[in-house]
Amino acid sequence: MTRKQERARARRRWEKQQARQAQREADRARLLRVASVVGVVVLVVGLLVVLGLTVGRSSGTSDAAGAGKDNQSTEVVAGCQPPPSPLGTGAELTLPDKKTAAGKTFTATITTNCGDLVVRLDGTKAPQAVASFLQLAREQYWKDSPCHRLTTGATFKVLQCGDPTGTGQGEPGYGFGVENAPKDGTYTRGTLAMARTTDPKNGNGGQFFIVYGDTKIPDPSGYTVFGTVTSGLDIVDRVAAEGVAPNDTSPDDGAPAAPISILRVAVTEEKS
């Protein structure tokens, strides 16, 4: 065999070796691509499973039985049932005409998981606040809504309710101004008043507070007093006696340690 033939044979062997190497590299790259795709699929499936389980755990029912399962560790005071899970919805309603309440008085029964609170609404002194209360009760705006704030200070004793989201940020889609605010900033036990934002001209909405101990609020604009608790204030007393749930802000201002929620509100007009 001549040298030329040997060189040709050697070249062919080298080319075959290169071809096999190239094939191995191609096979390896293909396997890596397949493995990557499989890994992504597994990761996506895993995430979907985790998300599905999370949603399943956090989606509670709005009835009392379902809420009991969602709140098995919740401490309730004597006479109370476990609170329902809040619906977490607000509303986009229109401010009602205050004429619907002007010059009239109403009795409202606020049914809670701890019993009934009965209040008398004064449409003569606070017609806009009462008209709003009537509309929100009719629309079941407060269904299964937690009372999200309790204060237990020496001169500031209120239970704040009326936000269906339970966050303190919910509102019905409208606002209105302050009516019938006490000039001296004193809110006596049993007072029913509107909570509001810092805007006294348009800061009232759907949230209100119940005064369970004489309270002084030194705000020159004041807060709308639109009713009085005539029955059931002892329920608020029992909740207040349990204090404020531990928080990072204040030991006497926060969510009540013993939860209380509004289940429904019914209103009837008082006939003269």
Q: Are residues 134 and 31 in the same domain?
A: no
Q: Are residues 83 and 37 in the same domain?
A: no
Backbone angles phi, psi at 90, to 5 degrees: -100, -145
Q: Are residues 83 and 167 in the same domain?
A: yes
Domain boundary among 10, 42, 59: 59
Q: Are residues 222 and 145 in the same domain?
A: yes
0.85 exceeded by pTM = no
Structural domain count, the chain: 2
Task: Give the three-state DSSP class for 148.
Answer: coil
Q: Are residues 55 and 72 in the same domain?
A: no
Q: Are residues 51 and 70 in the same domain?
A: no
Chain centroid offset of residue 62 CA: 13
Beta bridge partners of 150: 159, 254
Q: Are residues 40 and 95 in the same domain?
A: no
What Å distances lie between residue 168 and 11, 90, 120, 163, 255, CA to CA? 83, 11, 24, 6, 10
Q: Are residues 19 and 68 in the same domain?
A: no
For residues 226 and 210, give the distance between their C-alpha atoms in angstroms, rounded to a whole number.
11
Which domain CATH number covers 184?
Answer: 2.40.100.10
Chain centroid offset of residue 33 CA: 46
Q: Are residues 43 and 70 in the same domain?
A: no
Q: Are residues 33 and 99 in the same domain?
A: no
The helix (H) or strand (E) run that includes residue 233 is helix 233-241
For residues 63 and 65, give the distance between their C-alpha atoms in angstroms, rounded to a whole number.
6
Domain boundary among 13, 37, 59: 59
Residue 160 structural domain: 64-269
Question: From the DSSP assignment, how many helices (H) and strands (E) are in the chain?
Answer: 4, 12
Each residue's pLDDT expressed in tens, for the chain with a length of 272 residues:
554 455 555 555 545 555 555 565 556 556 555 445 444 433 333 333 222 222 222 222 222 223 333 333 367 888 999 999 998 877 899 999 999 999 999 999 999 999 999 999 999 999 999 999 999 999 999 999 999 999 999 999 999 999 999 999 999 999 999 999 999 999 999 999 999 999 999 999 999 999 999 999 999 999 999 999 999 999 999 999 999 999 999 999 999 999 999 999 999 999 87
Q: Are residues 25 and 110 in the same domain?
A: no
Domain boundary among 42, 59, 76: 59
What residues contact residue 64 under an 8 Å CB cut-off, 6+ apart? 81, 82, 84, 113, 263
Q: Residue 247's closest CA among 149, 156, 154?
A: 149
Q: What angle do CA 240, 241, 247 make, to 5 degrees?
A: 65
Q: 261, 83 in Cβ contact below 8 A? A: yes
Q: Are residues 37 and 74 in the same domain?
A: no
